[in-house]
A = this chain, B = another copy of it.
């Protein structure tokens, strides 16, 4: 994403092979990936040797610039996905059997969250929602 490179440059960061590879890979992804998954995928693509530490550094920096959103599915592994430029965001359904993650959006849910924050007089900056259950495929099996 050009937008990412622009934000990085404006924040005084230089361009680097490892970080560029991470940005490119995540930009092509549809849902969240863990640092290890990013590392493995980059290796699989064989582009270049990217260190795992560089992946962690990249996602950490990008998340700090709000170019990535950190997603925590409760399995002690941090995942990251690109932030929607529109401000839109989705949440995740995790299947307890197959482990697959599927994104979803729901306006009513967002509204309920906003109302809770307001009622409690919290200035909400973000929220995480994870639904756990069995996906249609695993229920059939």
Question: Hey, which bits of chain A sit against chain B, CB under 8 A?
Answer: 70, 72, 74, 76, 78, 93, 95-96, 102, 104, 106, 108-109, 111-113, 115-117, 120-136, 139
Would B112 and A93 count as touching, CB distance under 8 A?
no
Bound Cα distance from A104 to B121, whole angstroms: 12
Residues of B within 8 A of A126 (CB): 131-133
* Given A72-B74, A74-B72, A122 and B131 contact (CB-CB distance below 8 Å): yes
Query: Which 5 pairs between the two chains have the least Cβ-Cβ distance?
Result: A124-B133, A122-B133, A109-B112, A121-B136, A123-B134
Contact of A131 among B108, B109, B127 (CB under 8 A): B127
A108 vs B118: C-alpha distance when bound (angstroms): 14
CB-based contact A128/B125 at 8 Å: no
Beyond A131-B116, A134-B125, whether A76 also contacts B74 by CB under 8 A is no
Contact B136 A132 (CB under 8 A): no
Contact B129–A129 (Cβ < 8 Å): yes
* Contact across chains for B125 and A133 when beta carbons are under 8 A apart: yes
- Residue pair B117, A93 in contact (C-beta under 8 Å): yes
- Which residues on B sit within 8 Å (CB–CB) of A111? 112
CB–CB A113/B125 < 8 A: no
Given A78-B76, A102-B120, A109-B109, A130–B133 Cβ distance below 8 Å? no
Q: What separation, in Å, do the CA atoms of A122 and B8 have in the docked complex?
A: 39
Contact indicator A122/B109 (Cβ below 8 Å) = no
